[in-house]
Amino acid sequence: MCAECHTVPEFSDPAFKAKWARRSVGDLYEFIHTNMPDSAPGILTEAQAVDLTAYILQLNGIAPGSAQLPADAARLRGLSLASLRS
């Protein structure tokens, strides 16, 4: 579904990093979960949204942690995307 509107490089380009570097992983997850895909916003399950969030983090060179990301925006808000600035 993502490829209908997006390219992989778009998720790690300077514009993406500038937009998200001052936000949290929870913000990114919540945006994906409630707004994607454009053609049918909100149809992604929590598991799909958190998997996409993890994939985008991986594209940006953020190493995975020892546990899976929870599909919980409130808990994910504690994880900063500040490392996108570097």
pLDDT in tens, 26-78: 999 999 999 999 999 999 999 999 999 999 999 999 999 899 999 999 999 99
What is this structure's pTM?
Answer: 0.94
pLDDT at residue 17 tops 90: yes
The structure tokens 């997006």 sit at: 6
- The letter for the amino acid at 54 is A
32's CB contacts (< 8 A; 6+ apart) are 44, 49, 52, 53
| Distance, CA of 49 to CA of 47 (rounded, Å) | 5
| Distance, CA of 4 to CA of 63 (rounded, Å) | 27
